[in-house]
Amino acid sequence: MTGWRLLLTRPADESAALADLLAAQGIYSSSLPLLDIVPLAATGTILQAVQTLDQYSAIIVVSKPAARFGVELLNLHWPQPPRNKWFSVGAATAQILQARGLDVSFPAEGDDSEALLKLPQLLEAIGGPDPRVLIMRGEGGRELLAERLRTLGASVEYLELYRRDLPQYPPAALPERIEAERLNGLVVSSGQGFEHLHQLVGDAWPQLAQLPLFVPSPRVAELARAAGAKTVVDCRGASAAALLTALREHPVPVF
């Protein structure tokens, strides 16, 4: 895998952690964060949802930022955590919640919405009469999860805790970075991350669309292909382990 030279686009702290893990495997990477996580003000709607957490059959936390901001609200309003069924899309998000003393279930394989929807514990939690599910997330994203839960008979509400802004970069910063460091693969961790990538690349997109693009889910893969990406690799998860598996299975491009 040492032939890979990857562009990482996650928020700065996550990109730094991923870069260290990749370096330990002999993989070169360059970080250009395309998501700036900005917490939302605690409005009346947010506070009401937090104060009534014990009324939900299941609480699903879909990202590490959602877990961090959710735990902050729990610390303010729930000295003893409510005895709900808690779920996360991946192990890293679960660890943040478990550190707060919450009992969290998550898929053992495949950290995406599709894997979570097959989880027996989740199906059991929403199997009772009139199940209510709360999804903690950022603004937008993971509509498939709510749609599928509704088809299973659950009512679904969102608790949106942050937004994802595009950091400010000079024009052509992204394609210049790729050329200067001879990068041969792109990594995005969400649909909005890909949208920001596509936006920032601008007129250079036809050239960069030729590079392998590693994405976390079928939904993001579909989004990328619709925009013209030529080689999209679905890692079936946003974890470092999922990316490393995909890198092993995909040949390093030769230019």
Task: With beta carbons less than 8 A apart as the criterion, state whether 216 and 242 touch.
Answer: yes
Task: With beta carbons less than 8 A apart as the criterion, state whether 4 and 247 touch.
Answer: yes
pTM comes to: 0.84
Q: So what's the pLDDT on residue 143?
A: 79
195 CB-near residues (< 8 Å, 6+ apart) = 223
Task: With beta carbons less than 8 A apart as the criterion, state whether 111 and 90 touch.
Answer: yes
- Can you say how many angstroms the Cα of residue 82 is from the centroid of all Cα atoms in its chain? 25
111: pLDDT strictly greater than 80:
no
Report how far residue 5's alpha carbon sits from residue 9's, in angstroms, rounded to the nearest whole number: 13
Ramachandran region, residue 187 (left: φ > 0; alpha: ψ -120 to 50; beta: rest)? beta
3-state SS, 45-100, equals HHHHHHHCHHHCCEEEECCHHHHHHHHHHHHHHCCCCCCCEEEECCHHHHHHHHHC
Q: So what's the pLDDT on residue 153?
A: 93
Among the listed residues 126, 151, 182, 156, the one whose alpha carbon sits nearest the alpha carbon of residue 62: 156
- 3-state SS assignment for residue 178: helix
Which CATH code fits 38-164? 3.40.50.10090
Q: So what's the pLDDT on residue 86?
A: 96
Place 1 in a pLDDT band, splitting at 50, 70 and 90: low
Mean of all residue pLDDT scores within the chain:
92
Span 6-32, pLDDT tens digits = 999 999 989 999 999 999 999 999 999
Span 224-246, pLDDT tens digits = 999 999 999 999 888 898 899 99
Give residue for tokens 């250079």.
204
Q: So what's the pLDDT on residue 142?
A: 64
Q: So what's the pLDDT on residue 239?
A: 85
Span 137-151, pLDDT tens digits = 998 766 788 999 999
Task: With beta carbons less than 8 A apart as the criterion, state whether 243 and 217 touch.
Answer: no
Any idea which architecture 5-35+169-249 has in CATH?
3-Layer(aba) Sandwich (3.40)
Span 168-209, pLDDT tens digits = 999 899 999 999 999 999 999 989 999 999 999 999 999 999
Task: With beta carbons less than 8 A apart as the criterion, state whether 60 and 94 touch.
Answer: no
Task: With beta carbons less than 8 A apart as the criterion, state whether 155 and 133 touch.
Answer: yes
Q: So what's the pLDDT on residue 80?
A: 86
Span 22-65, pLDDT tens digits = 999 999 999 999 999 999 998 888 888 899 999 999 999 999 99
Q: So what's the pLDDT on residue 175?
A: 95
Place 133 in a pLDDT band, splitting at 50, 70 and 90: very high
Domain with CATH 3.40.50.10090 in the chain: 5-35+169-249, 38-164
For the residues of 194-215, what is the DSSP string, one character each? HHHHHHHHGGGHHHHTTSEEEE
Q: So what's the pLDDT on residue 42?
A: 85
Q: So what's the pLDDT on residue 37?
A: 92
Task: Report how far apart, in Å, the C-alpha atoms of 72 and of each of 79, 125, 186 are.
Answer: 11, 25, 33
